[in-house]
Structure 1
Amino acid sequence: MRLLLVEDDPAQLDPLHLVLSEVGHVVDAVTDAETAQWLIEQKDYDLLILDWMLPKISGVSLCHQYRSAGKTAPVLMLTAKDTTIDKVTALDAGADDYLVKPVDVVELLARVRALGRRSPQWIGDTLSIADLHLHLTTLKVERQQTQVQLSGRESQLLEYFLRRPYQVLTREQIELALWEWGTEPESNAVASQVRRLRQRLQAVEASDWIETIYGVGYRLSPPPQSA
């Protein structure tokens, strides 16, 4: 998933960024709400993780702004505040879940997995379309009892397609989804990643499920007999 992580303390931000990245997420990690506001306008996120006590603009205010803009991705609030009133405040602002600091990494990852299950393509710890399955914990793709191991980037690309089946996705959208904020992909990076993913999918006879829409981008669309 594409995550936005906002935490003003680098000593807490960096370890969380690392562990979320290690399990396969693409994470934009920032220390202030102003940068987060700009990123939210530029990118579509699958999940937001917001620290409550941010300078200038609180995480609760940022969450409220996000919901007021019509954004619907799940929001997980991190805070040392743990009273019932605090929890109600966060939930009323639009947060979907609430985790009290100090953050337990195992619990954080479980909460992130739980919030990610809202995709209609989700089955267990798997994203599926027709008879093609991506196992998110092992980064393996499976079809007709054949499994293939994907790289982290290949898994991220297939996950992005699976969460948006049948949609035409531009190269710009894919770049924004797969590369973290502050990194600059090469001009042919998207085409190269799509080519590698298709090569992997050949082993499960699904390489042609990713269509090239010339001049626009790509679309994941299983053939009618599979769908």
Structure 2
Amino acid sequence: MRILLIEDSARLRELLCEAIRDEGWRIDAFETAQEGRIALREGSYDLLLLDLGLPDEDGIDFLKSLRDAGAQTPVLVLTARGAIDERIAGLDAGADDYLAKPFHNGELTARIRALIRRSPVTSMPILEFAALKLDVASRQVTCAGYDVALAPSEKGLLELLMRNGGKVVAKTKIEHAFSEFGDERSSNAVELAVSRLRKKLEGHKTRLSIETIRGVGYMMREVHD
């Protein structure tokens, strides 16, 4: 999952990026509405975290312009504006949820999971392939009812492969999915990530394999006895 954050506070951007990456999600973070527009034109996002007090444009106006242009991306507004009429204005402008500053990171990530569950982008809340299950919202991975311990980035890679189970996933697609704006992931990094995931799944009776399609990418395939 890729998230776009538009927030003018450098310190808060840093803290939010850390909290979101800890969940295994990718995030691109910017200070201004103009930078956010460029990112939205050049990439695809599952969720927008939007501060209303931006230096170059009021966040409400920015949100209205997105919705007027037909953008369907779920939007969670983050703002110090606590007055009820301003909350109503944000929701009326097209926000899907509202979180007043200061807030706890746990509440933020819980609200993100709730929005993603309602989003058509993640219409399969529990992915299943062979004996493996992945709860998209909680990020829990199980095999035959037992937890499979994976790092957040490994869960992200697993989700991508499971969503494309039985199909070849191009290495370039994986590189893009696990990069952030202006910071592309290298081919070697993808190979190492796949290797680590394979090792983590060893020892579990997953009934699947992650095959290397030389020169193209990877495919998750069900293995039959």
Shorter-chain TM-score bucket reads 0.7 to 0.9
Partner secondary structure for residue 98 of structure 1? strand
Gaps spanning 5+ residues in structure 1: where? none
Task: Give 1:15's aligned amino acid.
Answer: L
In 1, the alpha carbon distance for the partners of 2:181 and 2:115 equals: 22
Task: Give 1:133's aligned amino acid.
Answer: K
Match of 1:175 in 2: 175
Structure 1 residue 121 corresponds to structure 2 residue 120: no
In 1, the alpha carbon distance for the partners of 2:75 and 2:162 equals: 21
Task: Give 2:55's aligned amino acid.
Answer: P
**Mapped contact 1:44–1:177 kept (Cα < 8 A):** no
In 1, the alpha carbon distance for the partners of 2:168 and 2:93 equals: 33
Listed one character per residue, the Cα deviations across residues 104-149 of structure 1 (whole Å, up to 9, x for unaligned) are 3232122112112232221xxxx32255322569865322234321
Q: After superposing the two structures, state which structure 1 stretch, 37-46 or 156-165, moved more.
A: 156-165
Match of 1:32 in 2: 32
Q: CA deviation at 1:99?
A: 0.9
**Mapped contact 1:6–1:31 kept (Cα < 8 A):** yes
Task: Give 1:205's aligned amino acid.
Answer: T
State the aligned residue count.
219
In 1, the alpha carbon distance for the partners of 2:46 and 2:149 equals: 24
* Residues 1:167 and 1:99: Cα distance change in structure 2 (over 3 Å): farther
Structure 1 residue 79 corresponds to structure 2 residue 104: no
Identity of aligned residues (%): 38
**Mapped contact 1:146–1:204 kept (Cα < 8 A):** no
**Mapped contact 1:121–1:129 kept (Cα < 8 A):** no
- CA RMSD in angstroms comes to 3.2
Gaps spanning 5+ residues in structure 2: where? none
Q: CA deviation at 1:192?
A: 3.5
Match of 2:6 in 1: 6
Structure 1 residue 159 corresponds to structure 2 residue 159: yes
* Residues 1:169 and 1:11: Cα distance change in structure 2 (over 3 Å): same
In 2, the alpha carbon distance for the partners of 1:11 and 1:187 equals: 31
Q: How does 1:11-160 map to 2 (within 5 A)?
A: 11-118=11-118, 119-122=122-125, 127-129=126-128, 132-134=132-134, 141-160=141-160
Task: Give 1:38's aligned amino acid.
Answer: I
Q: CA deviation at 1:193?
A: 2.5
In 2, the alpha carbon distance for the partners of 1:33 and 1:41 equals: 12
Q: CA deviation at 1:41?
A: 2.0
Match of 1:207 in 2: 208
* Residues 1:182 and 1:74: Cα distance change in structure 2 (over 3 Å): same
Q: CA deviation at 1:52?
A: 0.8
* Residues 1:45 and 1:204: Cα distance change in structure 2 (over 3 Å): farther
Task: Give 1:5's aligned amino acid.
Answer: L
